[in-house]
Amino acid sequence: MTHAIETRLTELGHTLPEAPAPAANYVPFVRCGDTLYVSGQISQRPDGLITGKLGESMSAEEGAEAAQYCALSLLAQAKAALGGDLSRLKRVVKLVGFVNSTPDFIDQPKVVNGASDLFGEVMGTAGAHARSAVSAASLPMGVAVEIEAIFEIE
């Protein structure tokens, strides 16, 4: 049976990807009691990485779309961590977003809103969260955005 989160994603025209494999020496998630920590997920579409630097080769709107893809990967990792059962996902506690941007780019919050908005649209009040949105001089493989998450789970 499809869970409400996946149903809502479909209604919004999104497809949940397979959980991406780690790109280095780390695990994609750690469960600790009723908390799930998901490692940073980089911006990637099904056809490849979303690369670029905000304030140079990308607009804030393009960055927000990249952040939305990070959120989809975060949900995919949560699904994998919960044995395929997203009904055990109670709420988003915190997001930390890293934006590959020029020194004078100041719209990191608008970029990370792409992920925050998706969680709100998909999970309602359970998608509301604490958050940081920071600039990075560069990110792995030249991606535009990387976001990590902390979830409350059952």
Q: What percent of the chain has pLDDT over 90?
A: 97
The structure tokens 């977003």 sit at 97
Taking 70 as the threshold, does the pLDDT of residue 70 lie above it? yes
Is 139 within the bounds of a domain?
yes
Is 45 within the bounds of a domain?
yes
Mapped to the 3 state alphabet, what secondary structure does 31-97 carry?
EECCEEEEEEEECEECCEECECCECCCECHHHHHHHHHHHHHHHHHHHHHHCCCCHHHEEEEEEEEE
At 134, which CATH number? 3.30.1330.40
- At 3 the pLDDT is 80
- List Cβ neighbours of 88 (8 Å cut-off, separation of 6 or more): 82, 153, 154
> pLDDT category, 1, cuts 50, 70, 90?
very low
Taking alpha carbons only, the member of 68, 120, 126 closest to residue 97 is 68
In sequence order, what are the beta bridge partners of 96? 132, 148
Contact 153, 44 (CB under 8 A): no
Q: What is the tens place of the pLDDT at every residue in 23-62? A: 899 999 999 999 999 999 999 999 999 999 999 999 999 9
Q: What is the tens place of the pLDDT at every residue in 124-143? A: 999 999 999 999 999 999 99
Is 149 within the bounds of a domain?
yes
Arithmetic mean of pLDDT, 9-24: 93
Is 148 within the bounds of a domain?
yes
As a whole number of Å, the CA-based R_g of the chain is 15
- List Cβ neighbours of 63 (8 Å cut-off, separation of 6 or more): 54, 99, 107, 110, 111, 114, 144, 145
Number of domains, the chain: 1
Question: What size, in residues, is the chain?
Answer: 154
- At 2 the pLDDT is 54
The residue segments making up the domain with residue 74 are: 30-102+116-153
